[in-house]
Structure 1
Amino acid sequence: MSKPTRGMRADGEQTRSRILEAAGPLFAAHGYAETTSKAIAEQAGVDLASINYHFGSRSGLYQAVLTEAHGRVIKLEALRQLADSSLPPADKLRRLIETLIDTALSDGVWHARILARELLAPSSHLKVLLDIEVQPKLAIVARILSELTGIPLGDPALLRCIVSIAAPGLMLLVAGNGLPGPAQLVRQMPRDEIVAHMHRFALAGLEAVGRAHTQSGKSEAQAT
C-alpha cells in the first residue's frame, strides 16, 4: 500500500514544480494582473483545478513564485554557510556583492525579471515575501556586517549598512526592466569591474561607519 502513496506524492511534487516553472516566466513577462490561471495551466499542461489544489489560488501561486525567485538568488542555507565559513569578513562581503550583481545582470532568467517587476510596482505580496524570505536572510547578512564593522547585532546602524550595500544592486536589477538612466550604462560594463567597484565602495563605507561607531562609544564612555 505504501508504493502507490509514494508514487502519488512524487507525481504531485512534479505537477507543483511544473506549474511553478510555467508561472514564473509568465508572471515575469506580463505581471500578476495580466497573467491568467488559464494561461498558466495551458503552459504547464495541467487543468485549472491543479493550481488551486497545489497553491490555493492564483494569488497563492504568485506568492510561491516570488518565494522561489528569491530563493534562486540565494538560499537561506547557502547564506548561513557563508556566514559560518572561515573566510575573512571582507571575502564574505564580496561573495554577497557577487550574488547581488549576478542577479542584477541576469536578464535572461525569469526570477531576476519578476523580482525587478515587483520592486518597480510593489504589490501586497511583497510584504509577505519580505517577512518569509527576506527577513531571515537579512539577519544573517547583519552578522557578516557586524564582523566587518564591530557594530553589535541589533544596532540600527547595521540595518542602514544593509540598505546602503543592497541599494546599488537593486537599482541595477530594476534597470534591467528598461528603467532609463545611468544605471543602464553601468549594466553594460564588465561584471568583474562592477563587483570590484561595489566591493571597494562598500568596504570603505563600512570601515568609516565602524570607526564612527567606535568613536561614539568612546565619547559616551568618557562622558559618564
Structure 2
Amino acid sequence: MSQKKRTDRNDEEAPQRTTRGDGARTRARIIDSAGRLIGANGFAETTSKAIAADAGVDLASINYHFGSRDGLYKAVLVEAHRRFITLDELQAIATGDGLPQDKLRRILDRLVTRALAPKEWNGNVLARELLSPGSHIEVLFEQEIGPKFRALSTVLSEISDIPVGDPALVRCAVSVGAPCAMIFVARRNDNPLSRRIEDMGKDELVDHLLSFALGGLQAIGRDFSAAVSGSN
C-alpha cells in the first residue's frame, strides 16, 4: 500500500516538474525575442503583439510571466546586464586569491572581453537604455548594478585603502567602470571611434585601463590618507 502511495505521489509530481521546466523555457524565449526586437527597434516601437508572435506564444503569456509589458522590459534589462557580467563572476574574482591589482585586471579583462564580443541583443538594449534612460533603469541599479558595484568596490578599497562606502571610493568605482561602459556603447554602431576600438588589441587595451585605474586609485588613496591624517 505504501508503495502504491509513493508511486501515486511520484506520478502527481512528474507533470509539475515538466510544467515548471516548460514555463522557464517559455519565459526565456519571450525574453530573448523581446531583447532582439527592442535592441533593434527600441522599447517604444516594440509591441507586445510583435514580441508574442516572434516568441511563438499568445499575448496572455507575457502577462502571465511578467505581469505587464513594462515587467517584461525590466526582465530584459536584467538579463541583458547579466549577459555582460554576472554578480557571481565579480564576487568570485573579488573574494579569490591574488593581489588586488591582479583581481582588478581580471575584472577589466572580463569587461573588455564582453565589450569587444560580437554584437548581440543585450548590448543593443543596454546601449539604448544608457543613452536615453527612463524609469525602467531603476531595476538595473536595484538588482544588478548596485550589488556588482559593491563587489567591485571591495577590490578598489584594497588598492586605495579607502573604506567601502566612502564617497571617494564611489567616485573611483565610477571612474574605473566608465571607460568599459563607453567601449561597450561605442561599439553598438559603426563610427570612427568604434573602428579605432576594433583595431586595438584586447590585452593592450586592458593593460592601459589597468595602469590608468591604478594611477588614479593610488593618487586618490594618498589624498584620502593625507586628509584623514590632517584631521586627527
Q: Fold match, TM over 0.5?
A: yes
- Report SS of the residue matched to 2:134: coil
**Cα distance in 1 for residues equivalent to 2:102 and 2:31:** 34
Over 3 Å counting, the alpha-carbon distance change for 1:119 and 1:21 in structure 2 is same
C-alpha distance in 2 between matches for 1:34 and 1:107: 24
CA distance in 2, matches of 1:77, 1:169: 19
Q: Secondary structure at the match of 2:50?
A: helix
Q: Is 2:140 aligned against 1:98?
A: no
The yes-or-no answer on 1:69 pairing with 2:80 is yes
Q: Contact 1:83 / 1:92 at 8 angstroms: preserved in 2? A: yes
Partner of 2:169: 158
Give the alignment partner of residue 216 of structure 2, picking from 205, 209, 213.
Answer: 205
Gaps of 5+ in 1: none
Q: Residues of 1 paired with 2:132 and 2:192: CA distance? A: 18
| Number of positions where the alignment pairs a residue of Structure 1 with one of Structure 2 | 221
Equivalent of residue 32 in structure 2, options 18, 21, 30: 21
Distance in 2, Cα, partners of 1:109 & 1:121: 19
Partner residue in 2 for 1:134:
145
Whether 2:230 is the aligned partner of 1:219: answer yes
- Match for 2:180 among 145, 152, 169? 169
1:116 aligns with 2:127: yes
**Map of 2:96 onto structure 1:** 85
CA deviation after TM superposition for structure 1 residue 147, in Å: 0.5
- TM-superposed CA distance for 1:214, in Å, is 1.5
Q: Post-superposition shift, 1:104? A: 2.3
Kindly report structure 1 stretches of 4+ aligned residues shifted beyond 3 Å.
179-184
Distance 1:129 1:17, change over 3 A: same
SS in 2 for 1:177: coil
Identity %: 49
Shift of 1:79: 1.4
Cα deviation, 1:20-76, whole Å, max 9, x if unaligned, reads 111111111111011111111111111111111101111111100100111112211
8 Å CA contact retained: 2:87, 2:147:
yes
SS in 2 for 1:166: helix
Report the equivalent of 1:44.
55
Match of 2:6 in 1: none
- 2:201 and 2:127 map into 1 onto residues whose CA distance is 21
Contact 2:85 2:111 in 1 (8 A): no
Determine helix, strand or coil for the equivalent of 1:87: coil
Who wins on radius of gyration, i.e. which is larger?
2
Are the structure 2 counterparts of residues 183 and 21 from structure 1 closer, same or farther at C-alpha, using a change threshold of 3 Å?
closer
Q: Which residue of 2 aligns with 1:8?
A: 19
* Letter in structure 2 aligned against 1:97: L
What is the Cα deviation at residue 177 of structure 1?
2.7
2:160–2:221 CA contact under 8 A, matched in 1: yes
8 Å contact kept, 1:31–1:117: yes
Task: Tell me by how many angstroms 1:107 deviates.
Answer: 4.3
Q: Which amino acid aligns with 2:92?
A: Q
Is the contact between residue 100 and residue 169 of structure 1 (CA under 8 Å) also seen in structure 2? yes
Q: Is the 8 A contact 1:148 1:206 kept in 2?
A: yes
Contact residue 172 and residue 187 of structure 1 kept, 8 A: no
TM-score between both structures, scaled by the size of structure 1: 0.92
- Residue 124 (structure 1) shift: 1.2
Give ranges in structure 2 of 5+ residues lacking alignment. Answer: 1-11
SS at match of 2:93: helix
